[in-house]
Structure 1
């Protein structure tokens, strides 16, 4: 029970004298609140799921009715008597609901029609706009779904925290966010410079939840969807909701004293930035920049313009860690380690700065080499036969692959190799029917640690653990599978139960971004009933061998371009024409076509599956400049792609490519799809066809 300003907030039961007053408040507002039988009110009251606001005279002047489902609360009704509106009663009711549900539930959700214009109210109450859905009424009006998070730690909340540990995370203000992808006349050139390639390895541009509340105010549904999609490409930093009200009030006082006017949404965005773990806020707003000293003194938050941030980073700039282009002209080889190489490898890979001694490292390595029935030890050599990386596989457990040693040294390719080796380990683990990959090297180099944190590993007592499920199934079955894994494997694997719980949520499979996030976390899992689009895309063998197909590359004299083959992500350029509304996120299966010289075996077939992270349509030169770091294709190659009438082509940024164990011939594909499609352009396929093709491609050969 809460008391404030002589208004008392309390939960009632079905015997309460206030229950009839609640129904009386609902009755004249039924067109807004919706039909609700008297028995339903009684049922909620029996469960004490009606909060009422009582004035000093004992009259009920407002109520909040809610329900619980699994681990979340849903607000069903929130109604205040007309004479008492805009007096803070709504906040009292919602604050009480937050208080009584904080410990047991993950958060509070609600659906509200867009045309009611209540977006500012929900935002002021701390809720965050999530997505739109069609209402169930005859009018089929559009509803916005809103969420207040209680801030309990879960598996996904660690992802932005890990990015904070590996990069400088800065929060951009609302206007910079708007300009980054919509400023076509170049008025905000300084803001757009934040997207420069050289900044990406060490800088993470972040937003807070308030950006989504800003998006909720956009009237046009399609524009709202577009802006939300753009926002989902940014790292979204969580803020500590318990401190937001105090933070906003303190900020408001500073602005009042300094006679600075600021919109409510910008005030909340700044408050959320302070309440997050970022320490840098980037803005072009002069009043905020002039208050940077005071904001730093009060909140330890650095407020910088884009130019100031870039200038400071440029002074500290080192060579970017992730440089696939730096691999051009090299010839790397992976070989098993033999006895006699211990001294050379010890000199290259002992972590002296971590307190590791050469004798200690050497003894460990000798043990791995000696016990070759348990350990596979590999070294990556350059063309001069000098070691660049070292890793060891330990396969003593049926359910997991362990890497007791993974070192990449200190050279220009270290970060690239770290990401590549971890990705290959995950694929190797999955292909050998293991569900987990564990890294237990106690002297991890920072380069490797950063790569681990970016790859959804979970910190456990003796290292880092990644779940990697080689299954394609629906969300319900996947939830059961994870629950069984956790039950059978013990307490250390309890984080699987958290994912299982997320997969049980009804809205998950309808939310493409959420489904995609779960798939990436469990990679290479595929949630077949998720609303993620699937496409078959044709690609020429010469591009396929460079981007993802090592088997094709081995058919040529020179092999693939190493600078591309080691990439975790890559970009493929194609015509916009006949793109079949290809959009991210989605899955693609690559159809490798026959070349005109018939130079390759095993083509005219499906050979791999990738996840599309981004689809960008633009002028060839602009796309080339933007994605140059992800490949070595010349501008002339891209200029040869047929543009549309506006001169645009398409860039597909994709990642997590799985080569198929079994290539699927064109005849077999046509048989499965029951048509004679020859795949001259992108082809969208239904979920069940994707399931069939993907399963056929990845299953072990008989």
Structure 2
């Protein structure tokens, strides 16, 4: 490939830029700023184009104009947009010279992003000769193929910022990711492959290996959207179109734009801290790669390869030379399965067991007290590891220290998750870790659409045996069994479902048949506690025609992270000195304190849908990302009114609160507050956004500052969104 057709080399060092803060307002046709908007539009009509008379008033009346106000409340710029089916389109983005290069344009666009999250995304068209490619790219937009402008010999570049990709598109990509090892190619690899495709005279010995048939059978070469912004920098129209079409032959991985900005900011900090030089386009390409679903990033660029260890340490993305990838293809293919995963925001992590670790695990977990044969135990583990398509072996450990627990799952049966080995050893976390693992195993079984969890380990430690019985496991001929149905049905539907489920099963399922008969009893359905007992027995099943009350309760991110939200808790680990204590994070039971006022009849027993609010308190509560959603469902076991000191002493064993925290809660006239003891929290796979909540409750103005009681119909709709 000729040098003039390559992308421009990255020469700009990363700069720390401090933008001026502008107040962004959405104006109407009565706004005093409308005249300033018109004046700015007329002054820049040569670049903005002709705008019909009265169009400013029409857009203002529809509240489709955003203005940027400086510290003196003067309008220094505006953004005018329109709605086009599932998309929003930017018509004008105009900044007065006094507000340019100060961040006004970005802040206007960012506000538009915030108010369009429920749409597909935002589109615009911009003439190439305005040379604003760098600006739109830095705003997170992606360039598409140019179109002809009305002006002679001019071209328009369409730009797209996509909030919500089409489900079909996402499904197709997901299928491709599941079929092979996915590796994102860096821009330098893309250009080399493009040159190979176009028979350009370059050294292609290493490029050929990536396109070899046997490699293609194992490897899925991918790109991300940022490649189109790099292609957009090519000046030659024909060359630019050619590269664009070539890029479309690769799987293009999507990424969450909000997480993208977080990763981009962190990446910029890392680059600056380590004195690396990376141009903005390559920086954004790398950030998008980090935010995608890939674990491997291929490049020959020395700068990127020099960053490999730092990138992996911070983002678990392997930056690797193609030749090295081919040499380690088999090992890397399994690598995503062995990534350590943090547990509940603690420093503990779980990791899949590798072959060769048998002796270490045997020494820690064989049960000599029950006279288990050490050699037999070792042979079992070797067998499970050899057939990893049928068995999943996981160890829980404290960083790289000694293992704390061992779990082996059998996955052969469609309707049942079997736990062949479950050991927690003898340490201060044994009991709480045992209950945590069992609860997570039940959820795992339900999420995999299995109906039962069976524990067949014949050498269970006493802490495990006690935890099993507390979790409503039933003793069967070869171990212990628990029903875990991921269904939402009326009582009669649930009774029929259970009867049909075990119709062809043996006698060990008689406990399900008895339960099916009992559910038909009307007295059970009208009694809230009985209904909750049945739901717990079949957890996470839900009975839709029961008398169980449901409340939406707002909770600050800080307390959610401590009490149940593992995703928020893991955010805390990124900050120095944070992290949940394992003995608290693994508790199945917890307590939440609040003021008594506006409790809206909250009482036990009932269900809670937890709404992680946008409110973030001082100190430890600040700094959370992606808040403002329903994240979990719990059962309320008890609601107690009392003095803060009395409640603190009573529930201190459950507590993430200290006494100072409770003393800050507003008391009633009798100096009382409320304690909510809850348990069995199901953390949702998918968050339910505030906008979705508004739609379900049919409330345009929804204020979530206190408990909100909702009816059964609304609960069912919201709960069903958890796995959409």
More displaced stretch, 370-379 vs 552-561 = 552-561
Question: What aligned pairs does 1:50-69 form with structure 2 within 5 A after superposition?
Answer: none
| Match in the other structure for 1:508 | 524
Within the candidate set 414, 421, 435, 1:419 is matched to 435
Contact 1:571 1:653 in 2 (8 A): yes
Q: CA deviation at 1:565?
A: 2.0
Pair 1:404 & 2:417 matched: no
Compute the TM-score of the two structures, normalised by the length of structure 1. 0.52
Q: CA deviation at 1:665?
A: 1.1
For 2:443 and 2:498, the matched residues in 1 are separated by 19
Pair 1:695 & 2:720 matched: yes
Relative to structure 1, is the Cα distance of residues 487 and 329 closer, same or farther in structure 2, using a 3 angstrom cutoff? Answer: closer
| Match in the other structure for 1:290 | none
For 1:494 and 1:385, the matched residues in 2 are separated by 44
For 2:693 and 2:501, the matched residues in 1 are separated by 34
Pair 1:460 & 2:476 matched: yes
Instruction: State the superposition RMSD in angstroms.
Output: 1.8
Question: What aligned pairs does 1:85-100 form with structure 2 within 5 A after superposition?
Answer: none
Question: What aligned pairs does 1:220-299 form with structure 2 within 5 A after superposition?
Answer: none
Contact 1:563 1:632 in 2 (8 A): no
Contact 1:380 1:390 in 2 (8 A): yes
For 1:388 and 1:689, the matched residues in 2 are separated by 42
Q: CA deviation at 1:604?
A: 1.0
Contact 1:416 1:566 in 2 (8 A): yes
Question: What aligned pairs does 1:657-696 form with structure 2 within 5 A after superposition?
Answer: 657-675=681-699, 676-696=701-721
| Match in the other structure for 1:606 | 630
Question: What aligned pairs does 1:483-502 form with structure 2 within 5 A after superposition?
Answer: 483-502=499-518
Question: What aligned pairs does 1:244-643 form with structure 2 within 5 A after superposition?
Answer: 331-383=347-399, 385-556=401-572, 557=574, 558-596=578-616, 599-643=623-667
Please give the per-residue CA displacement for 1:297-340, whole angstroms capped at 9, x wherever unaligned. Answer: xxxxxxxxxxxxxxxxxxxxxxxxxxxxxx99972111111122
- Residue aligned with 1:662, SS: strand
Please give the per-residue CA displacement for 1:245-278, whole angstroms capped at 9, x wherever unaligned. Answer: xxxxxxxxxxxxxxxxxxxxxxxxxxxxxxxxxx
Structure 1 outlier segments of 4+, above 6 Å: 327-330
For 2:501 and 2:482, the matched residues in 1 are separated by 13
Contact 1:441 1:463 in 2 (8 A): yes
For 1:453 and 1:671, the matched residues in 2 are separated by 41
Contact 1:672 1:689 in 2 (8 A): yes
Question: What aligned pairs does 1:9-158 form with structure 2 within 5 A after superposition?
Answer: none
Contact 1:594 1:600 in 2 (8 A): no
For 1:433 and 1:481, the matched residues in 2 are separated by 14
- Residue aligned with 1:636, SS: helix
Unmatched runs of 5 consecutive residues or more in structure 1 = 1-326
Please give the per-residue CA displacement for 1:162-220, whole angstroms capped at 9, x wherever unaligned. Answer: xxxxxxxxxxxxxxxxxxxxxxxxxxxxxxxxxxxxxxxxxxxxxxxxxxxxxxxxxxx
| Match in the other structure for 1:316 | none
- Residue aligned with 2:686, SS: strand
Q: CA deviation at 1:395?
A: 1.0
Q: CA deviation at 1:614?
A: 1.0
| Match in the other structure for 1:654 | 678
Contact 2:552 2:609 in 1 (8 A): yes
For 1:632 and 1:604, the matched residues in 2 are separated by 22
Compute the TM-score of the two structures, normalised by the length of structure 2. 0.50
For 1:595 and 1:559, the matched residues in 2 are separated by 20
Please give the per-residue CA displacement for 1:5-31, whole angstroms capped at 9, x wherever unaligned. Answer: xxxxxxxxxxxxxxxxxxxxxxxxxxx
- Residue aligned with 1:388, SS: strand
Q: CA deviation at 1:638?
A: 0.7
Relative to structure 1, is the Cα distance of residues 355 and 596 closer, same or farther in structure 2, using a 3 angstrom cutoff? Answer: closer
Contact 1:587 1:610 in 2 (8 A): yes
Q: CA deviation at 1:391?
A: 0.5
- Residue aligned with 1:633, SS: coil
Contact 1:589 1:606 in 2 (8 A): yes
Please give the per-residue CA displacement for 1:557-590, whole angstroms capped at 9, x wherever unaligned. Answer: 1444433321111111111111111111100000
Contact 1:379 1:387 in 2 (8 A): yes
Q: CA deviation at 1:383?
A: 4.1
Q: CA deviation at 1:488?
A: 3.3
- Residue aligned with 1:351, SS: coil
Aligned residues, how many?
A: 373
- Residue aligned with 2:364, SS: helix
Contact 2:638 2:678 in 1 (8 A): yes
For 2:400 and 2:512, the matched residues in 1 are separated by 45
| Match in the other structure for 1:324 | none
For 1:415 and 1:440, the matched residues in 2 are separated by 19
Q: CA deviation at 1:632?
A: 3.1
- Residue aligned with 1:519, SS: helix
